[in-house]
Chains A and B, each alone.
Chain A
Amino acid sequence: MLEAFIFATILCGFFGIIFKKNLVMKIISMDVMSTGVIAYYVLIASRDGLFTPILSTTRRGNYADPVPQAVILTAIVIGFSIQALMLVGVMKLARNNPTLETSEIEQNNAP
């Protein structure tokens, strides 16, 4: 069930990238897509248990798998830095292409 929601999020993001015309909207769609991917990692991590794996004397139940979480943390950092970089590029482009429609930008900049 949760898996279905996650895949729906990923697909929504992907279709947003295709169907939205505005470059900023495309970048936001990409963010939606990456949110879906991150959620999928968290879901896989919680297959065996939900508790944070911290050493303590009392055992509270099954621990969540820390590896996918650690991995996705790296991916989140990379993802947001790429988005920041893209938005800077968009700011520069917006000066000469105020509508930011990709087809327009492409026409102006194609050889």
Chain B
Amino acid sequence: MSSEKMVRAAFGNNNVDTCARVCHSPTGYGLSQTFGTSAGTQDFKSVAKSDVIVVIGANPTDGHPVFASRMKRRLREGAKLVVIDPRRIDLVRSPHVEASYHLQLAPGTNVAVVNAFAHVVVTEGLVDSDFVAERCEGYEQWAEFIARPEHSPEAVEEITGVPASELREAARLYATGGNGAIYYGLGVTEHSQGSTMVMGMANLAMATGNIGRDGVGINPLRGQNNVQGSCDMGSFPHEFPGYRHVSDDTVRGVYETLWGRALEAEPGGLRIPNMFDAAVDGSFKALFVQGEDIAQSDPNTKHVTAALKSLDLLVVQDLFINETAKLAHVLLPGTSFLEKDGTFINAERRINRVRPIMAPRTGKHEWEIVCEIAQAMGYPMTYDHSSEIMDEIAITTPTFSGVSFKMLDEKGSVQWPCNANAPQGTPIMHVDGFVRGKGRFVETDYIPTSERSTRRFPLILTTGRILSQYNVGAQTRRTANVAWHPEDLLELHPHDAEVRGIKDGDEVALASRVGETHLHARIDDRMPVGVVYTTFHHPVTGANVVTTDNSDWATNCPEYKVTAVQVRLKKAAERHESSVASERLPALAQD
């Protein structure tokens, strides 16, 4: 919250953004449009009451192993599982767990699949009519839209690659199998229609009455310990804490009064990709990056690097000299979680206290540095203790009005909303009514991505994570975990390998319309024909050298999951050239 305040009050603009831009910003948009708030609906233990679990575009055993253990426990007890993913992830079949259906869709066709699910529900009379009549609005128009023949499983089979009969059976299972819960990850959000897909899943949950009680819901599996908290605290350009728009005069007035500064009333501000574009065109001059390695994590590395090099001032506050920090003019020290005194808010909206076990080695908390920068820019911003920041959140944010360090110390943790209406917090959202009043059905037309495979780039690349490394690896590559995953590999189907003369372990070139990188091949029939996969944990591989500027239409979340590529076996001469280039790389990066 202090960073958001620094930008809006001291910098005097709304150009603040968060790493959720590149992961779950479509969740925020989609759930806000349909349910009225930008967060998942359940607590984690809700899965113990689920009868049918639908996992879409997520790989919980690798990406969210702690929650996955809860989910697997329920699956071992007999809950049914539907996996919707291009790859045959471990959950599809592992000891004591086997999916009833694995819908191996083509990357980029999520919305066609979720519409077909809804088509089955509506046209086969599986709608929870009482729930819809009592709790929702816009149903009739949406039902007419989704019942059209073009949304049927048979009509979309050729596009999605999912057999219509399997999709129908899976949809019937979700609608009639008891408590149906949808869990999803970045395979939903990181698409040109990421927000549309989130709304499509919300439509499906409302139509089947799978909202507002234990065991059901729409559950984003978020990527980091506090990315929910970051979003909650007004880290998007258009929102103050609590997801309230900056153009709301009443809300803005609250902050103007408390912060003693007129705030920018004009809606909007630059999102991270907009900042890159504006840096390249020369109209955006300075950037302050906290704890995010945008040079490695964001798509189209060449463009990002050009943008960062165009800035008059790049300030990085981080634990490590990561790829972004190598380009910085000023490096400010970060603190680890062991030194922090504050809160983390996780994917179940749970506000957890984080207590330091040692004083910051750098001598200052990160928020103290933020305050000093604000003051140096002429804006008085001081706190005596981090608890005062929480107090400021509580008096300005209705969903947090009951929260304080004292309360958290007494209770241990609490899930927002926590206020006079819910003094003990809110484990399950939308129990008696949606936050926006009535749940809103939204028409979700399937629009294919403009990123298409071509003769030149005939394969589709999708990216993801593995268990032993964390995101860009800034933290985990410095540990013994590298023994398990020393490099990013390119997974491809045996057929795609054979026709290219590629053997397991060969070094290959991976090229898209924006760039090319090199890595070793791993031949694996968990991949469907025509789709290749890699992780983005190692900067030397630079998976984002090949990903593009395509993004979700509503939020600009990058379309990491669909990039048209070609793969070829590297020739001996190329291998020599790349080894020379990689030796030069550290020096170039510090130009």
Q: Do A and B come from one complex?
A: no
